[in-house]
Amino acid sequence: MNLHTLLLDVVHVAVLLLVPPFLLGVINKTKAAFAGRVGPPYLQPYYDLVKLWRKGSVFSTSTSWVFKAGPVVGFATAVLAGLLLPVAGHAPLSFEGDAILFAYLFALGRFFTVAAALDTGSAFEGMGSAREATFSSLAEPALFFGLLVLGRLARSLSLEVMLTGGHWPPRSAASLVLVMAALFIVLLAENSRIPFDDPNTHLELTMIHEVMVLDHGGPALGTILYGASLKLFIFAALVVGIALPDLGNPWMSLGALLTGVLAVAVAIGVVESLMARLRLVHVPSLLIAACLLSGFGIVLLAR
């Protein structure tokens, strides 16, 4: 390993750990702009995380170590998934098949988040965990169809090759656009954004992710929110990575990726400002639509 790759890896980890909360700030600013408000400062999510980390916490007498494992696994899996994704034209950990590991790491995080919610014995958190498990099982095939299209084009199952290979034949453009649309829907679902879930409500019967973490507070809640922002960043980078051409220079790639990720954050803010949350019964339909979109992406490759 030469010094340059080592430097890039350090930058990768730094970007992965430092940038994600900023995206939440951008989303909130965008929503505020649409509503004609000033909105909280861009750095507000960082202040919130620091505040939560300093707070004390109360744990339910019903809970066990599984409740504390939820935030830990959710955060650690997101960090590891972030290492598989090329940020500056190169991923610190990359091998044939890492795209599968990428998807399954988030699944591991989900298993423990759901288990932690069930550990409280609360009906609300049970409800949220059942919904999370249901909806993400519909989102999973959409993600895999998308990875499949990229895998066929890149002839590899490594995210680094899939996202930086970049010399796709022009006729695959239609497939890639469909996949990007499908993955953007998956991004909204997996990160509990409108129209699937509303990150601002906390006490409604229609919510999914927020209700699962009702009983977490202080440092545990901070870990969950930090992990969630990492997940948002990673999914945004995945969607952007499909569109970005191979720029050759790692620093230019990094700049382009960060610009793209910010654009995705603005797009999320726009979606949240313009759309209402879907009725819960319609959520599966949208996810199945995402599966079909990326399924058509495969069929279009068969020409």
Partner 1 sequence: MSEVLAVCACALAALSGLPGLFSSRNGRAGERMACSLIAVAGIAGVSAAVLAFVAPSPEGISQRWAVPGGALQVRVDGLSAMFLGQIFFISILGAIYGLGYWPQAAHRENGRKLRLFYGLLTAGIGLLIIAGNSVLFLVGWEVMALAAFLTVTTEDEKPEVRQAGYLYLCTTRAGTLCLFALFALLFGATGRMDFDTHGVDARGPVGTAIFLLALSGFGLKAGLMPLHIWLPPAHASAPTHVSALMSGVLIKTGIYALARVAAGFEHPPLWWGGMLLSLGTASAVLGVAFAIGQHDVKRLLAYHSVENIGIMCMGLGLALIGRASGHPDLVLLGLAGALLHVWNHGLFKALLFLGAGSVIHGTGTREMDRLGGLLKRMPGTALLFLVGAVAICGLPPLNGFVSELLVYLGLYRGAAARDGRWWIATSFAAPALALVGALALACFAKAFGAIFLGEPRSEDADLAHEAPRTMLGPMIALAACCVLIGLAPALVAPALDSAAAAWGVSTPLTAAAPLGKITLAAVLLLAALGFTAAALVSRIRGSRAAPTWDCGYAAPTARMQYTSSSFAQMLVGLFAFALRPREQAPRLMGPFPAAATYHGEVPDAVLDRILLPFVRATANAFESLRFIQRGNVQAYLGYILLTLVLLLVWK
Taking CB under 8 A as the criterion, which residues in 30-69 touch partner 1? 53, 56-64, 66, 68-69
Closest distance between partner 1 and the C-beta of residue 186, in Å?
12
Closest distance between partner 1 and the C-beta of residue 285, in Å?
11
Chosen residue from 42, 168, 218, 266 binding partner 1 by CB under 8 A: 218
- Regarding 200 and contact with partner 1 (CB under 8 A), the answer is no
**Binders of partner 1 in range 138-197 (CB under 8 A):** 138-145, 148, 151-152, 155, 157
Cα separation, 20 vs 262, whole angstroms = 10
**Binders of partner 1 in range 284-303 (CB under 8 A):** 284, 291, 295, 298-299, 302
Cα separation, 258 vs 230, whole angstroms = 14
Cα separation, 125 vs 128, whole angstroms = 5
**Binders of partner 1 in range 69-108 (CB under 8 A):** 69, 71-73, 75-77, 79-80, 83, 93, 95-98, 100-101, 103-105, 107-108
- Regarding 6 and contact with partner 1 (CB under 8 A), the answer is no
- Regarding 13 and contact with partner 1 (CB under 8 A), the answer is no
Q: Which is nearer to partner 1, 37 or 202 (CB)?
A: 202
Question: What is the per-residue DSSP string for 99-167?
Answer: HHHHHHHHHHHHHHHHHHHHHT--HHHHHHHHHHHHHHHHHHHHHHHHHHHHHHHHTS--HHHHHH---
- Regarding 229 and contact with partner 1 (CB under 8 A), the answer is no
Cα separation, 63 vs 125, whole angstroms = 13
- Regarding 17 and contact with partner 1 (CB under 8 A), the answer is no
293: Cα separation from own chain's centroid: 19
For the chain, first and last CA: distance in Å? 42
Cα separation, 274 vs 189, whole angstroms = 17
Chosen residue from 203, 274, 279, 303 binding partner 1 by CB under 8 A: 203
